[in-house]
A and B are shown apart, each in its own frame.
Chain A
Amino acid sequence: MTVGFAFDAGLAVLVLGVAVWTIAARAAFAAVVGFVTFGLLLALVWVRLAAVDVALTEAAIGSGVTGAVLIGAAARLRPTEAASAAERPGAAMRLAAGALSVLVALALAALVLFPPDPAPTLAPQAALHLAALDVGNPVTAVLLAYRAVDTLLEKVVLLLALLGVWSLAPDRFWGGAAVPAVRPDSGGALVFLARVLPPVGIVVGVYILWVGAIAPGGAFQGGAILAAMWILSMMTGLTGAPEIGRLPLRLLLVAGPAAFLLVGLAGFAVADGFLSYPAAIAKSLIIAIEAALTLSIAVILGLLVAGPPSREPRHRDAGHRPAGHGEAGR
């Protein structure tokens, strides 16, 4: 048994321990904190699995931004916990659920223990065209060139999720902004941090985006870091949440997918088809798309965390949205 394996075994036990805590903890808040630590540990696991791109994503999104959403929700839902506890399913139900879960886990474990022998891999195919794309990071190449259509659709999913969140707002708030909970007692220290950290965060975010062409990093990770800085500044009330009816905001939201789509359609004219890039400028195109995507991702993630609007739009007629009159239909 090598030192490396001992480390990995300890890490795996720790991950499972924190996961059990997340399920078993009595208070929801304790479970959420358990989940945040789970995300941090997963980032370590991804480094051990030689997937640093994933580790970056997990550190930024899986743990950081998700944690912010869940912790806020747990604190607000605390009054409901006692009532829900009475709805716990009976022993028979829990036993059945346990049996099902064990069965599923065992089946998956069997898959892990008896995998197909020449391990299936697309790595050689991915490596084949890396030089032509002039992109050193194979994961970026997969995300933005080989399987670019997946990434495009994923951006659409993000937008749809944001529309879903917005649509939860009562009609009169449509086009308004989410009210940031400005708490004077959250202390000068946090406000200080929210002033000092974003400049550093923006540099790191752009660096992660830029380095993504040759090393782990890219639009998702960079965008998530930028979003995090924006969220921090919204949390402390330094910047208000934007009104969702504003046209510039909407344009920013669709900028990434739109740029992607335009380049994709141009592929019909100048290359072999949808989302295929002319070899000479493939790298420049990829970086341009990534830059637009990063901005869109940052804005979408930030707005997802801010939540549905909870304030009436300031200039109601400036919004000129027919949806603003939805109440008349009731």
Chain B
Amino acid sequence: MTATTLFGLCGAALVGLGLFGVVVHPQPLRKILAFNLLGGGVFLLFGAIARRGAAAGMGADPVPQAMVITGIVVAFSATALAVALVLRLFEATGGASLNSDPPRTEPAAGPDG
């Protein structure tokens, strides 16, 4: 097994792990974290593909690398937006539940902006 395969497998495992976290964690912040892990796994898969495509004197295929760089930046902006949404939810309702009918949080959902 080569190091490239190894990191590719690591990426596959990260995708599974992140997916599990996204589904199972009730807290939105934990979902965001898990989603970022999932993204990291996808990026690693790209990295393994890029490394396999080493040719023409380059250590790795530059096209997947460029895609990953773009992806990291976009993932960050999505994370920042998601975090801002959660914080706004917290400000407005005093909680951070994604549950559509909160079973036993404070029913004081009236006077907010």
Q: Which residues of A contact B (CB under 8 A)?
A: 4-5, 8-9, 12, 15-16, 19-20, 22-23, 28, 31-32, 35, 38-39, 42, 45-46, 48-51, 53-54, 57-58, 61-62, 65-66, 69-70, 73-74, 76-77, 80-81, 83-89, 93-94, 97-98, 100-102, 104-106, 108-109, 111-113, 115, 119-124, 126-127, 138-139, 141-143, 146-147, 150-151, 154, 157-158, 161-162, 164-165, 168, 170-172, 220, 297, 300-301, 304-305, 307-308
Interface size grouping (class) on chain B? 35 or more
| Cβ contacts under 8 Å, B67 to chain A | 150
| Cβ contacts under 8 Å, A172 to chain B | 113
Distance (whole angstroms) from the CB of A183 to the closest CB of chain B: 18
What is the bound-complex CA distance between A71 and B74, given in angstroms? 19
| Main SS class of interface, A | helix
Q: Are B29 and A70 in contact (CB under 8 A)?
A: yes
**Which listed residue, A19, A111, A126, touches B56 by the CB 8 Å rule?**
A126
| Cβ contacts under 8 Å, A76 to chain B | 87, 90
What is the bound-complex CA distance between A154 and B77, given in angstroms? 10
**Which listed residue, B21, B55, B72, touches A57 by the CB 8 Å rule?**
B72
Using CB atoms, name the residue of chain B closest to A80. B96
What is the bound-complex CA distance between A32 and B12, given in angstroms? 21
Q: Are B55 and A124 in contact (CB under 8 A)?
A: yes
Q: Are A97 and B6 in contact (CB under 8 A)?
A: no
Residues A51 and B66 in contact in the complex (CB < 8 Å), given A8-B3, A23-B17, A305-B80: no
Binary flags per residue of B63-78, CB closer than 8 Å to A gives 1, else 0: 1011111101111111
Residues A31 and B30 in contact in the complex (CB < 8 Å), given A70-B79, A108-B15: yes
**Which listed residue, B5, B16, B90, B95, touches A101 by the CB 8 Å rule?**
B16
Q: Which residues of B contact A (CB under 8 A)?
A: 2-21, 23-27, 29-30, 32-34, 36-37, 40, 43-45, 47-63, 65-70, 72-81, 83-88, 90, 95-97, 99, 103-105, 113
Q: Are B48 and A168 in contact (CB under 8 A)?
A: no
Distance (whole angstroms) from the CB of B30 to the closest CB of chain A: 6
Q: Are A22 and B33 in contact (CB under 8 A)?
A: yes
Distance (whole angstroms) from the CB of B97 to the closest CB of chain A: 6
Q: Are B83 and A73 in contact (CB under 8 A)?
A: yes
Residues A45 and B96 in contact in the complex (CB < 8 Å), given A23-B21, A28-B30: no
Using CB atoms, name the residue of chain B closest to A146. B63
What is the bound-complex CA distance between A241 and B33, given in angstroms? 26
